[in-house]
Amino acid sequence: MKQLVSILAIYLFIQSVIFCQNPVDTICILQLNDVYEIGPLNQGKVGGMARVATLVKQQEARYQTFVVLAGDFVSPSVIGTTKINGQRVNGKHMVDIMNKTGVDLVTFGNHEFDIPDNDLQQRINESQFAWLSSDLLHRNTDSTLSPFYKLSPASIVPATYLLSSAHNQFTVGFFSATIQSNRQPWVVYSDHLTAVKSAVKRLNRQADVIVGLTHLSLHEDKNILYKVKNIPLIMGGHEHRHNYAVVRKGAIAKADANAKTMYRHLLFRSGRRGKIKIISQLLKVDSTVTPDPAVAAAVKDWEDKAYAAFRAIGLEPDAVVYRTTEPLDGTEASIRFKQTNLGNLIAKAMLAASPQADAAIFNSGSIRIDDMIDGVLTQLDIIRTLPFGGKLCEVDLTGELLIKTLTTGNNLKDLGGYLQISTNLSLITNAWLLNGAVVDAAKTYKIVSPEFLFSGNEKGLEFLNATNPGIKAIKQFNAPGDVHTDIRLAVVKYLSTL
């Protein structure tokens, strides 16, 4: 009898080991976040969705694999700003490549709302992956509120999502939350902590383990783990540097932007009735990974179309123009709140194009890269930084209007109208100085600026338009090849002199 019991115990032990180690009983979640570029970066050394596709297939060969993207992908994108067949791409290329790569689930980032409402709806309709939103509603044209949807209002974007393991041995429940920035009138935000608590309460009845797919600041993600129990993992975005932070009994994982890295999370049950364990590993997406041929071909097709559009305006994407001596700060958390070295560089390029101007000013919202720029810069990097391009103009305006413009722009923090200015402008004890002298309200000054800034269409700076009596003259430039016809040409030319 004792021998029989021993044999049975050994058998059960072996079966439990097999159960834990069998790949089909493990869910592999591959996490991306903040992916704006479909091709590799840093001269092809890192990133690239074709490499991601290869890593997806490698994991699929071993595990039940589920690919998530924690927001920010339809914008800002260098290809997304181009026009192909007369229409702005606005993230269509990203959705196409994500479909081909095998993405399964996404949530909204703040940059999903860069593009018009109708275009975002088209991107959702085109997607072959699921969308998730626990804290957002759409404001319709009749002012009613409803969930976002795919294809028809009957197919709503859910507040929670369930994923079962291959043999239904455990279920993973997902919730999401999106940072409340880049607000649009057609997007309504709930308090994300309240929304998460509601989603988790529901998931506690449906899932064996609950994870977050969020696009929040690290501080906001941490606050969720402090305030809400039973969340072992938040897969986050918004910050562009990889991070793994442990808070109480949970963890927050964020990969590098633009698929330079991705997280692999293995979820499995420890024993037949044990808790769900999660093992997380940061995977490099670099030249050691062979690109998937089919996805690489699709990426090249999009790039060829976009590059043709850039070359038509005199830009050569692959041409090297500069090597940085320090990282250039183009993050929205900086450029919309303070003067940065990238803002200084662009303003210097504008003054180099218009040496007769007294100063240069431009709206920080024209910088869309939302990243640090370091190392070798190509013209493509300049296009990524200033994807909308736009003409430069020279404006003669009164000192009174210049003071009002600088003061108002300085108060538009966290908005695209926050101004980046040339280094010869400064604010000292509530007085604006130009070349060390107080700006004289009665004098006339010449400013070089993007035409857009004086169109009256920048939020908070609507008074900057041709009807303002403080504007004495606006000189426009239209000659082919003149660097004023595209701010990116001015930056490229300036960098070539350094």
Q: Are 256 and 18 in contact (CB under 8 A)?
A: no
Beta strands in 343-470 (DSSP E): 359-363, 372-373, 376-378, 392-398, 419-421, 425-428, 431-434, 437-438, 444-450
- Determine the average pLDDT of the residues in 353-360: 98
- Residue 425: what pLDDT? 98
> Domain check: are 83 and 187 in the same one?
yes
> Domain check: are 285 and 391 in the same one?
no
- Total residues found in the chain within this entry: 498
Residue 456's CATH number: 3.90.780.10
> Domain check: are 136 and 185 in the same one?
yes
> Domain check: are 278 and 177 in the same one?
yes
The answer on pLDDT for 45 being more than 50 is: yes
Quote the CA–CA distance of 388 and 365 in Å, as a whole number. 10
Is the pLDDT higher at 14 or at 150? 150
Domain presence at residue 312: no
Nearest to 448 by CA among 312, 353, 316: 353
- Residue 3: what pLDDT? 54
> Domain check: are 262 and 325 in the same one?
no
> Domain check: are 36 and 164 in the same one?
yes
- Residue 12: what pLDDT? 45
The answer on pLDDT for 34 being more than 80 is: yes
> Domain check: are 424 and 491 in the same one?
yes
Q: How many CA atoms lie within 13 A of 102 on its CB side?
A: 21
Which whole-number Å values give the CA distances from 170 to 26, 202, 284, in the listed order?
A: 10, 16, 29
Domain with 229 in it: 21-298
> Domain check: are 213 and 130 in the same one?
yes
pLDDT in tens, 435-469: 999 999 999 999 999 999 999 988 899 999 999 99
Global pTM reads: 0.80
Q: Is the dihedral of CA 193, 194, 199, 205 positive or negative?
A: positive
Contacts of 161 (CB under 8 A, 6+ apart): 105, 130, 132, 173, 174
| CB atoms near residue 338 (< 10 Å) | 14
Quote the CA–CA distance of 135 and 384 in Å, as a whole number. 30
- Residue 167: what pLDDT? 87
Quote the CA–CA distance of 303 and 225 in Å, as a whole number. 41
Give the type of residue at 248.
R
Q: Are 109 and 72 in contact (CB under 8 A)?
A: yes
> Domain check: are 247 and 322 in the same one?
no
Domain presence at residue 394: yes
Domain count within the chain: 2
> Domain check: are 329 and 424 in the same one?
yes
Residue 172's CATH number: 3.60.21.10
- Determine the average pLDDT of the residues in 52-60: 99
The answer on pLDDT for 200 being more than 60 is: yes
Domain presence at residue 14: no
The answer on pLDDT for 182 being more than 90 is: no
Domain presence at residue 8: no
> Domain check: are 352 and 273 in the same one?
no
Mean pLDDT of the chain: 93
> Domain check: are 35 and 119 in the same one?
yes
> What percent of the chain stands above pLDDT 70?
95
Q: Are 444 and 396 in contact (CB under 8 A)?
A: yes
The answer on pLDDT for 271 being more than 80 is: no
Q: Which one of 298, 332, 367 terminates a domain?
A: 298
The answer on pLDDT for 159 being more than 80 is: yes
